[in-house]
Structure 1
Amino acid sequence: MRIAVPNKGRLHDPAMELLESAGLHAVDGADRKLYADTVDPEVTLLFARAADIPEYVSDGAADVGITGLDQVREANPGNVEEMLDLEFGRCRLVLAAPEDGDIQSVADVAGKTVATEFPNVAERYFEDQDVEVDVVEVSGATELTPHVEMADAIIDITSTGTTLKVNRLAIVDEVLQSSVYLFARDDVTDDEKVQQISMALQSVLTADGKRYLMMNAPQDRLDEVRDVIPGLGGPTVMNVESNENGDKDGMVAVHAVVDERDVFETINELKSVGASGILVTEIERLVE
């Protein structure tokens, strides 16, 4: 099973960190290599340009890919399935035009020239909008094209909008919201190993921003404890071993998963209902 991963750029490190958090550590490194084995003998990493990964998966050079949704939609292979939003590399593909120009809406672009690195996405977008334009493909510096009379407007990637503002361009419409996705060729999406990879990555995403709470609580105040920490499907309650005197002191052990942002307030509320020995730990993976 081969997973195609961006070989460099802003997507490479987060993709590798996510794979390692999911347990798929590269065992022989990834620097200046095309391939890397992982701790799973059935899984190999293949490093490629982010824009080429959809084609690698479609053609069978890899079975699974990790790259931006914008790249998948631009390549538009007919035999891949988007499986999981990996929730990083977020950006937008937008239609933009000179801020002091006469293009204020999508309709205003009719009959004009639009420059973009995403001609296939652009063509489909304007077809959906029922607007006829001349789409010109460029390989970089898209935001400069309206100022050198190459185009009247552009379709380009933006994260914060700063580059557009610096180049005196205003957003006219949003074409696509993008982030990094896990996707697979449609003839392997049901494969057991592909499902295991998807589940492992999902477990890391699910655990993000969560904390595991363990504590002792008075058994006669469990209802109050439950009101404080409903947890993931409710807290887990277990008996406490007897102390050296054979007395359990009417206490039970309570475990629960809570949102990290709620930990501070939750601990104070738990103390107020008699909880003690409260321990908070990070969660690396969480399978629901």
Structure 2
Amino acid sequence: MEIKIALPSKGRISDPAVKLLSKAGIGLKDTVNRRLFSATFDQQINVMFTRASDIPEFVADGAADLGMTGLDLIREKEVRVEILEDLGFGKSKLVLAAPEDSDINQLSDVKEGSIVATEFPHLTEKYLETNGIPVKIVQLSGSTEIAPFIGVSDLISDLTSTGTTLKMNHLKIVETILKSSVHLIANPESYQEKKDKIEQIRTGIRGVLDAEGKKLVMMNVDEEVLDEVKKAMPGMSGPTVSQVLSDNRVVAVHAVVDEHEVFQVVNRLKKIGARDILVVPIERII
């Protein structure tokens, strides 16, 4: 039983997708020469590299069992796929934008019959029609920002991460149509027929995502201050306590702590009397 995973061949989401698979234990055998098809260290799993925009259709058609691509592309293609996980990277938003000197400042200012240039015709038209604003869509494959300044359109709908490119091109955001990030998707038939293996892959990926921003804090403490230590330490289900083979009534304590809390937690523990404190990175939480 082979599982084929479609990943973006290039762009800002390609490398993070490859790294996520690697951290999940599904690394590519050849990380230097990226081919159309690449074997992984799991004999049942192979990776195919293709354009991010083609991944929703390839997964829907069964050319790939799984895929990683942006929610914006998944929604734009309007294909039938199972969305398994929001992978949390490649965050962006599809926005409606107008020239800075335009009198269009909010959605209600957009007039019926306005012309909108975009690479996302279905999402844009559907969103505006839902809000009672029928418009004319001009589909472009790039350089969308220039369209209002050469008389092609009144507005544009485009993907942005920070809004910097829009500002550089003297455009202002009027409305957010969709917030997007990279998602893990599955072919519905593949998910039913190969569910066990797909869920193993999903669990590995989910374990990596759950471990992000977490640290394992371990220490030795005297039994007499254990209650104070428990109060001072957060944990996913409370700290774990185990006996230390010693004549000094010492116990070992460890807990998973959010990275941003580590500094405060360690200092609280030292004041209580904890010693031999270790802060360890976590690769996966299953």
TM-score (norm 2): 0.95
What amino acid sits opposite 1:250 in the alignment?
R
Corresponding residue of 1:253: 252
Alignment of 1:146-165 (within 5 A): 146-165=148-167
Corresponding residue of 1:17: 19
- Indicate if the aligned counterparts of 1:30 and 1:36 stay in contact, CA closer than 8 A: no
Corresponding residue of 2:94: 93
Is it true that 1:211 corresponds to 2:211 in the alignment? no
Alignment of 1:65-84 (within 5 A): 65-77=67-79, 79-84=80-85
Q: 1:166 aligns with which of 168, 173, 180?
A: 168
Corresponding residue of 1:267: 266
What amino acid sits opposite 1:282 in the alignment?
P
Distance 1:87 1:220 in 2: 43
What amino acid sits opposite 2:104 in the alignment?
I
What amino acid sits opposite 2:96 in the alignment?
L
Supply the RMSD in Å over aligned alpha carbons: 1.2
Distance 2:76 2:32 in 1: 27
- Between 1:113-122 and 1:258-267, the stretch displaced more is 258-267
- Between 1:79-88 and 1:21-30, the stretch displaced more is 21-30
How far does residue 223 in structure 1 lie from its aligned partner after superposition? 1.2
How far does residue 32 in structure 1 lie from its aligned partner after superposition? 4.4
Corresponding residue of 2:65: 63
What amino acid sits opposite 1:85 in the alignment?
D
How far does residue 198 in structure 1 lie from its aligned partner after superposition? 1.1
Is it true that 1:196 corresponds to 2:200 in the alignment? yes
SS of residue matched to 2:190: coil
The percentage of aligned residue pairs carrying the same residue is: 50
Corresponding residue of 1:276: 275
What amino acid sits opposite 1:213 in the alignment?
V
- Indicate if the aligned counterparts of 1:66 and 1:180 stay in contact, CA closer than 8 A: yes
Q: 1:241 aligns with which of 241, 245, 249?
A: 245
Distance 1:262 1:105 in 2: 40
- Indicate if the aligned counterparts of 2:76 and 2:122 stay in contact, CA closer than 8 A: yes
Corresponding residue of 1:177: 179
What amino acid sits opposite 2:278 in the alignment?
L
- Indicate if the aligned counterparts of 1:68 and 1:180 stay in contact, CA closer than 8 A: yes
String of CA shifts for 1:140-172, please: whole Å, max 9, x gaps.
010100000000000001111111111111111
Q: 1:114 aligns with which of 101, 111, 116?
A: 116
Distance 1:128 1:233 in 2: 44
Structure 2's unaligned 5+ residue stretches are none
String of CA shifts for 1:2-44, please: whole Å, max 9, x gaps.
0000001111111111110111011133634110111111110
SS of residue matched to 1:189: helix
- Indicate if the aligned counterparts of 2:216 and 2:257 stay in contact, CA closer than 8 A: yes
String of CA shifts for 1:245-286, please: whole Å, max 9, x gaps.
xx1x11111111101111111111111111111111100111
- Indicate if the aligned counterparts of 2:125 and 2:134 stay in contact, CA closer than 8 A: no
What amino acid sits opposite 2:139 in the alignment?
E
What amino acid sits opposite 1:162 in the alignment?
T
* Matched residues, number: 281
Alignment of 1:137-148 (within 5 A): 137-148=139-150
TM-score (norm 1): 0.95
How far does residue 189 in structure 1 lie from its aligned partner after superposition? 3.2
Distance 1:131 1:90 in 2: 27
- Indicate if the aligned counterparts of 1:83 and 1:184 stay in contact, CA closer than 8 A: yes
Q: Report runs of 4+ in structure 1 exceeding 6 Å deviation.
A: none
Distance 1:157 1:36 in 2: 30
Distance 1:276 1:73 in 2: 53
Distance 1:280 1:232 in 2: 16
